[in-house]
Amino acid sequence: MDRFDALQLFTRIVELGSFTEAANVLNIPRATATHTIKALEKRLGARLLDRTTRQVKPTLDGQAFYERSRRVLAELEEAETCLSTQIANPHGTLRLDLHGAHATMIILPRIGEFRARYPRIDVVISSGDRLVSLVKEGIDCVVRAGRPRDSSLVVRKLADMPEIICASPEYLARYGTPEHPRELVQHQGIGFFSRGNDSRYPFTVIVDGKVAEFEASGWISVSDAECYTSAALAGCGLIQVPRFRLEEHLQAGRLVQVLPEWTCPALPVSALYPFHRQLSPRVRVFIDWARDIYREKFGETGHPDNSE
């Protein structure tokens, strides 16, 4: 390996905490990774990594070298992006993780347009509601709804999605229809929680120009968006969700919007990626393309993201 490849390998080992996982990500043999790091340590005259049977961690010298290596690699990638051919025609594999509805209802129906525009980019998509470790799993970019909590990621806002509160006709016939947001606390709400987070999300409605929260009781909670909708269809209670996901059910009468004269706060949807990918032409062109298709569907976003 040349020095550039050795730096890439070293930073990956630090980020993933594993020789094997770093070798797999870079598609090289495990033995090659071991030999390369030994040669790097010998050339530098310093031990960079503490190795145990369970984990690999940088030494103090290794941590300092890692920080410098990240800057060198970022500057090198920035230099490469200055080449007009790379900017105009980026290439390589783009690894995305998309929330199910955004994959199936927004991005995938138009992914052929992205391929036609950037024919040298291959796309690998994983999908679901779970939180992923972008660095550990080698993901370049994720698309997620809600307000991001991970300050280590770059956030590019794509849209604000209108939300509604709704329930099945069967539920409303049994428990009645709320006429004011304060009546939500008297109803059954289907709980939605993130994995690793036991909290239930309250219903949010704009009352007198301010966002008000209403905690409903309920006997069922889910952590998957499709299960959330299915539970509402089964009459288990009220849900609050972006309207675009429910149009088919609303038109068919399987779900009914409640409190239609009250506005729910819009739910932001964003693209997130690690800081070390912020200069990648593949990530840049995908986010620009995604912004366009989200803008067509939901209109202009009214608030900037944290990266501009």
Going from N- to C-terminal start, the domains of the chain cover 3-81, 90-159+267-298, 163-258
| Overall pTM surpassing 0.85 (yes/no) | no
- Each residue of 2-51: pLDDT tens digit? 888 899 899 989 988 899 988 988 889 999 999 999 999 999 999 999 98
Contacts of 202 (CB under 8 A, 6+ apart): 213, 214, 215, 216
Q: Which of 45, 40, 10 lies closest to 28 in space, CA to CA?
A: 10
Considering the domain delimited by 3-81, tell me its CATH architecture.
Orthogonal Bundle (1.10)
> What pLDDT, on the 0 to 100 scale, is given for residue 307?
43
Average pLDDT, the chain: 87
Q: Six-digit token pair at 1?
A: 């390996």
CB burial string 236-247: b at 16+ within 10 A, e below = bbbbbbbeebbe
Residue length of the chain: 308
Residue 30, strand partner residues: none
134-138, 146-150, 169-173: which has the highest mean pLDDT?
169-173
Class of domain 90-159+267-298: alpha beta
Greater confidence, 302 or 296? 296
CA–CA distance, 39 with 6 (Å, rounded to integer): 9
Over residues 155-182, the pLDDT tens digits come to 999 999 999 999 999 999 999 999 999 9
Average pLDDT over residues 110-137: 83
Q: Which CATH superfamily, name and number, covers 163-258?
A: Periplasmic binding protein-like II (3.40.190.10)
- Do 90-159+267-298 and 163-258 have matching folds? yes
